[in-house]
Amino acid sequence: MSRPAHDRADQPGIRLNINGQSVDAHEGMTLVEAAWQAGVPGITNVGCMEGVCGSCRVMMRRDRQVTVGLACQTFVENGLDVIFLPAASASRHFYDIADFKDSWDIHARFHGIFPEASRCRHCHGCVQSCPKDIKVEDGVALAASGRYREAGEIFFECVMCELCDVACPELIAPAHVGLFCRRVTAHFHLRPPNLISRIEELRKKREEADGNDKGEE
Amino acid sequence: MNKGIPLQEALAAYRPDSDPGQVSPMTDADSLLSEFHPDHLRGSVVKLSVGVNSGDSCQRDLASLLQTEAFIDEADLAGVPVIDADVLVIGGGGAGCAAALMAAEQGAKVLLATKLRLGDSNTVMAEGGIQAAIEPDDSIQKHIQDTLRGGHHAGNPSLVASMAEDGPDVLRWLINLGMQFELTPSGDLQTRRAGGMSASRLVYCRDYTGLEMMRVLREAVFQHRSIEVWEQSPAVELLSNEFGLKCAGAVLMSLADGQKRIVRTRSVILATGGLGRLHLNGFPTSNHLGATGDGLVLAYRIGAKLTELDSFQYHPTGLVYPSHLSGKLVTEGVRAAGALLINGKGQRFVDELQPRDIVCASILRECQEGRGIRIDDERKGVWLDTPRLENSQPGLLERQFPNLMSRTRGSGLDPRTQPLLVHPTLHYQNGGVIINSKGATTVPGLFAIGEAAGGIHGRNRIMGNALLEIICFGRRAGIAAAAAAKRDRGPKKVTLEHINQLRRALTLAGMPLSRRAPEILPSYARGGLWSR
């Protein structure tokens, strides 16, 4: 049985850098906890602290190797250099899903909205940057070939940290491609009979009630 | 209170095949609750002495926030830039996004300001699902009854009816926006039954329902041409007209540089969520970082009436360690699948599938009477016996609870071989700002929705009603706020008159003016924000 990581006092001390500040921490602490304990200013890009909101994006350097990740899911290491990244800049890909009336032209629409998606140069930057180990590149390829349902499934665990958007040299915005695929799949193909019947039943009831009201007037 | 069995001793004595004994049937639930539930802790409830709820019971830590000095006075507003909007939404979780989208659909110019990042909220962390009465053997009426009964009949029946009636249409709206749900092979929405439901009514998206909802809403809001989003921009005060009687805007303060901005508006929608991060009564919490009850403080100061301020939901099974996950939930599903709760002596002590408040009080009783497992004064708990569950159904944890497994992986803890130390964790604010079925508060121009609003869940919320509530009342308030903004010609003057009145009342009541609220961030995360 492994020993639980609970008692910090007798854990070995660890020294690392966060936003340029030298920080002392204990084994088992996350980067968020270490930054707070040391009073590193301005650590406000933090949300759920369980890895589902994608807010606490960090860039890390170990010797000459540079990686990205989520600070609430990464534990302190000796000599680690950490920079908390600002939130992603606004998306450059605009669409209103309410404008999508006809699913037959969706392929043309997709390439109109995301013209870069077919220009993937397979650099794997998106895959390496993903803290959720999503096969981002495969998802983008499926989307570009019009297989939106399958592509969306690949992005199921996406937490919208948008680190893949930053990593992409072609500005494909893979996270938003993934979400587009998931959204059009629901928008066009989710037509559950049990829900539709109940909605219709309630509509009829309202109609009857309105009719009765008018009769009494 | 140093009682309890030391962790290493309890671990050494633990056997997944020991005889855990039988639990005797619950005889006196009321006295268990009144003796051990945190809502009834001696000294934890006080009477409010200032404001519209004067004389009402309120949790002590919350009361001290509601009756405090503001950050700013009129002198601070000189030279501050003013921005006009038809509708200001404060809060970027599920409720705030739904309200912003509907108000924008009505043609309003909407500003959505949120303390952290758009989508940082308890919505994104919801695992279970959303309730809607859609199965043939279910009805709107049953949904209403279950919700009222679950809330110990303290909820407002007309609000509950509005919510239950909206359920099916809320699902249609979400699907049209692009949210996916689990389907049966024949294409129906998959439903399941959870605690307190008389029919199968919970629709879901694996155990990531809230994440799926939030990322779709977030994208829709960012994409909308009539919605402007300001992140890292908490509201520190509401603004009133010259009589202090109507809400006319808000003062926002940037987390990045402390700069203030005045938003002058015709309708304000508060969607600021709950208050788990206040750690009421010293409890850990399952909530996200921004849940500091700011909306309750702002609403109370401008004169909005609140309800059920002494009623909170403590989820029975929050993790005690690994410490970076302290207070985070182990879903009720693990107990539903058969996991037992075991004290430090290896004995069961409660039927694990009793309502949340009963299980919570029973765990606290074990800890207080020395049968809990103790790390130090702050950290105690009981075992959630996952190894026994895994032994009886090998592979079950990996298959059904991948979220739990992936969270504990990497911290040297394997729930398949080691039981989880759990303790009740502050989960949900049952009460909040009193609203009508359009989300309007008792103050003209001010709406409140989501966890910040009260009156729907009575004194106990049942699973799946939170996600429904935020969309139902978010949409209703968005429509109503946009309509009000059309009728209203806007404020002649924006003032802090209500704060002047508050200061007089605090002084008359002999309350100190030393503490300031809202909290904005919990103390441990506040370093270097701006000088206070």
Beta carbons of A87 and B117 less than 8 Å apart: yes
Model-level pTM? 0.94
Clarify whether B152 is annotated catalytic.
no
Beta carbons of B324 and A28 less than 8 Å apart: yes
Claim to verify: residue B305 and residue B325 sit in the same structural domain = no
Claim to verify: residue B409 and residue B331 sit in the same structural domain = yes
Question: pLDDT tier at A215 (50, 70, 90 boundaries)?
Answer: low
What is the structure's pLDDT at B532?
A: 38
Highest CATH level, class, for A8-84: alpha beta
B335-380 pLDDT, tens digit each: 878 899 999 999 999 998 887 888 999 999 999 999 999 998 889 9
What is the structure's pLDDT at A10?
A: 57
Mean pLDDT on B26-54:
91
Claim to verify: residue B324 and residue B348 sit in the same structural domain = yes
Residues of chain A with C-beta less than 8 angstroms from the C-beta of B183:
190, 192
Q: Does A108 touch chain B (CB under 8 A)?
A: no
* Percent above pLDDT 70 for chain B: 98
Among B375, B399, B427, residue at a domain's last position: B427
Q: Is the pLDDT of residue B49 over 50?
A: yes
Among B427, B446, B465, residue at a domain's last position: B427
Mean pLDDT on A150-159:
96
What is the structure's pLDDT at B392?
A: 94
Claim to verify: residue B157 and residue B287 sit in the same structural domain = yes
* Percent above pLDDT 90 for chain A: 82
What is the structure's pLDDT at B195?
A: 77
Residue B20 lies in a domain: yes
Claim to verify: residue B274 and residue B388 sit in the same structural domain = no
- Domains: count for chain B: 2
Of B37, B218, B315, B388, which one is the catalytic site residue? B315
Among B402, B427, B452, residue at a domain's last position: B427
Claim to verify: residue B396 and residue B414 sit in the same structural domain = yes
Six-digit token pair at B248? Answer: 């006319």
Six-digit token pair at B363? Answer: 């765990």
Residues of chain B with C-beta less than 8 angstroms from the C-beta of A87:
117, 231-232
Residue B503 lies in a domain: no
Beta carbons of A2 and B177 less than 8 Å apart: no
Claim to verify: residue B160 and residue B301 sit in the same structural domain = yes
Which among A7, A43, A44, A72 is the top mutation candidate for probing chain B, defined by the most B β-carbons within 10 Å of its own β-carbon? Answer: A44
Q: Which residue type occupies B440?
A: A
Q: Is the pLDDT of residue A109 over 70?
A: yes
What is the structure's pLDDT at B3?
A: 82
CB-nearest to A44 from B176, B218, B232 is B232
To which H or E segment does residue B99 belong?
helix B94-105
Beta carbons of A202 and B290 less than 8 Å apart: no
Q: Does B55 touch chain A (CB under 8 A)?
A: no
What is the structure's pLDDT at A5?
A: 42
Least confident piece of the model among B15-24, B111-120, B445-454, B471-480: B15-24
End-to-end CA distance of chain B: 36
Residues of chain A with C-beta less than 8 angstroms from the C-beta of B381:
none
Residue B67 lies in a domain: no
CB-nearest to B528 from A30, A41, A159 is A41
How far, in Å, CA of B348 to CA of B202, rounded? 30
Domain boundaries of chain A, sorted by first residue? 8-84, 97-189
Q: Is the pLDDT of residue B20 over 90?
A: yes
Claim to verify: residue B399 and residue B253 sit in the same structural domain = no
Residue B524 lies in a domain: no
How far, in Å, CA of B381 to CA of B360, rounded? 11
Claim to verify: residue B334 and residue B406 sit in the same structural domain = yes
What is the structure's pLDDT at B182?
A: 93
Q: How far is A112 from chain B (nearest CA, A)?
A: 16
Question: pLDDT tier at A11 (50, 70, 90 boundaries)?
Answer: low
What is the structure's pLDDT at B401?
A: 78
Question: pLDDT tier at A87 (50, 70, 90 boundaries)?
Answer: confident
DSSP 8-class letter at B178: T
Q: Regarding beta strands B260-270 and B247-253, do their DSSP bridges make them parallel or antiparallel, or are they unpaired? A: antiparallel
Q: Which residue type occupies A156?
A: F
What is the structure's pLDDT at A9?
A: 53
Q: Does A39 touch chain B (CB under 8 A)?
A: yes
Claim to verify: residue B266 and residue B409 sit in the same structural domain = no
Mean pLDDT on B61-73:
93
Residue B64 lies in a domain: no
Q: What is the DSSP string of B339-355?
A: PPEE-TTS-B-S-TTS-
**What CATH number is associated with residue B187?**
3.50.50.60
How far, in Å, CA of B330 to CA of B347, rounded? 20
Read off φ and ψ for residue A30, nearest 5 degrees. -85, 170
Domain that holds residue B150: 74-311+430-497
What is the structure's pLDDT at B530?
A: 55
Q: Does B7 touch chain A (CB under 8 A)?
A: yes
Q: Is A142 left (phi over 0), alpha (psi -120 to 50) or beta?
A: alpha
10 Å CB burial of residue B25 (0-12, 13-18, 19+) is exposed
Q: Does B15 touch chain A (CB under 8 A)?
A: no
Q: Is the pLDDT of residue B509 over 60?
A: yes
How far, in Å, CA of A135 to CA of A128, rounded? 9
Claim to verify: residue B253 and residue B176 sit in the same structural domain = yes
What is the structure's pLDDT at A90?
A: 76
SS3 B120: coil
Query: How confident is the prediction for chain B on average, in pLDDT?
Result: 93
Question: pLDDT tier at B196 (50, 70, 90 boundaries)?
Answer: confident
Rounded (10°) angle between helices A193-216 and B157-177: 130
B406-435 pLDDT, tens digit each: 778 767 789 999 999 999 999 999 999 999
Clarify whether B335 is annotated catalytic.
yes
Least confident piece of the model among B33-47, B401-415, B450-464, B477-491: B401-415
Residue B519 lies in a domain: no
Residue of chain A whose alpha carbon sits nearest to that of B92: A47
Which among B15, B102, B124 is the top mutation candidate for probing chain A, defined by the most A β-carbons within 10 Å of its own β-carbon? Answer: B124
Claim to verify: residue B302 and residue B166 sit in the same structural domain = yes
